[in-house]
Structure 1
């Protein structure tokens, strides 16, 4: 059967449109989005592995909430290693006062330079409503352990952080999983969680929202991770 030239052009255009439609519907090409549950778990598992294998990572933790009573951790900034160890500053609410104190955690002990003291002393961080920050490196109960326990994990989009494009995944975590990181979490509660993974497959952000302080409603803690793999050794002060 022979078609006229206009008819052949129309058929060619129709075929091209069909191919484009098939690709847009998530064909098997490499450019398709990884949105299946299995693919998401692969991404989160790979991010956990990178975090666990990094010799060190810097991080910050902060919340915009300003409770006026009780003891709680409000923020932190420092370097985490897989000795495990931590060196940096931790912001706490203690007996109604906000204060930021230098902290070193190494060899199972936590040292802090408390206000009005000239040197570091050994402390129990739980007395200040704070975690042992070196526990953030724990593969089971630390930061990376949260990734594989994210309930209902789904890809929620992308955002730009400077030159870095971050893919976000959201889900929920039980309060019992959040409490080792943020002790004021209600262990019986549920916390909305958003994880950001960069183009190299590393966790760069973690946002946790829920009930952390009585009467304050939902509060969000934002954690940021950067400078993976630097050669850092943390020693007792």
Structure 2
């Protein structure tokens, strides 16, 4: 064998050795990206709960639908401004009182309610139970008011995407125990569940609407819809 042949064989052997060595080294693996699961309806309700609880104040309107005409006293609608700490409300309630519909200027503060009834020149202090209406300040309590309903909803699921004015909202649907509803609104069959639809503004996750349907005045099925906006804007409520 010539020197040239021996050199070629040696070179070939070296190449095989290097190739085998390089094959033993693991190739660099691309980093694994774990995509988190999409937010659930419960996740969005938790976000909305925190946003509303931290708002401090809101503008609130409430409208009833399919209300029975044979009932003596109930809320038809309400509109005003409120704070959460302390829970307080100032605005106007439209109600049926002893069979008569009236617009009632209302102030609720420190667990006290003042109303200006028709043909009465000034606000008078009264008990919500005497009028058959809820304390509007109770709706704004940061733990047991409308905020609390977000944690009481049962079997929440995503509903439709809708619009409230110019805003896109994601609906979350479910049910509320009757006792929770009656404790808050002073009306309803405590033994019956109520259907609820929360309208949550996409991106900010503000609660824009709360629609509750059920046996508020059995056997009639009625609906109350609450709309909240102006989160965190200055509100002052004083006793009249």
TM-score relative to the length of structure 2: 0.80
Partner Cα separation in structure 1 for residue 219 and residue 175 of structure 2 = 21
How far did 1:164 drift? 0.4
Partner Cα separation in structure 2 for residue 69 and residue 160 of structure 1 = 33
Please, which moves more after superposition, 91-100 or 104-113?
91-100
Give the one of 79, 82, 90 matched to 1:80.
Answer: 82
CA contact (8 A) 1:191 1:209 kept: yes
Establish whether residue 149 from structure 1 lines up as the match of residue 152 from structure 2: yes
Establish whether residue 55 from structure 1 lines up as the match of residue 83 from structure 2: no
Establish whether residue 102 from structure 1 lines up as the match of residue 92 from structure 2: no
**Aligned alpha-carbon RMSD (Å):** 1.7
Partner of 2:176: 173
Per-residue CA deviations over 1:120-171 (Å, capped at 9, x if unaligned) read 1101011112111111122332101001110010001200122200000000
How far did 1:33 drift? 5.4
1:135-146 equivalence runs, <5 A: 135-146=138-149
Establish whether residue 134 from structure 1 lines up as the match of residue 137 from structure 2: yes
Tell me how many residue pairs correspond in the alignment.
Answer: 204
Give the one of 218, 223, 226 matched to 1:220.
Answer: 223
CA contact (8 A) 2:64 2:75 kept: no
Per-residue CA deviations over 1:178-203 (Å, capped at 9, x if unaligned) read 11332121111110110010021110
Equivalent position SS for 1:87: strand
CA contact (8 A) 1:73 1:128 kept: no
Larger radius of gyration: 2
Partner Cα separation in structure 1 for residue 52 and residue 132 of structure 2 = 26
Establish whether residue 210 from structure 1 lines up as the match of residue 211 from structure 2: no
Partner Cα separation in structure 2 for residue 65 and residue 157 of structure 1 = 23
Uncovered stretches (5+) of structure 2, i.e. residues with no partner: 1-33
Partner Cα separation in structure 1 for residue 173 and residue 219 of structure 2 = 25
TM-score relative to the length of structure 1: 0.81
Partner of 1:71: 73
How far did 1:93 drift? 1.8
Establish whether residue 193 from structure 1 lines up as the match of residue 193 from structure 2: no
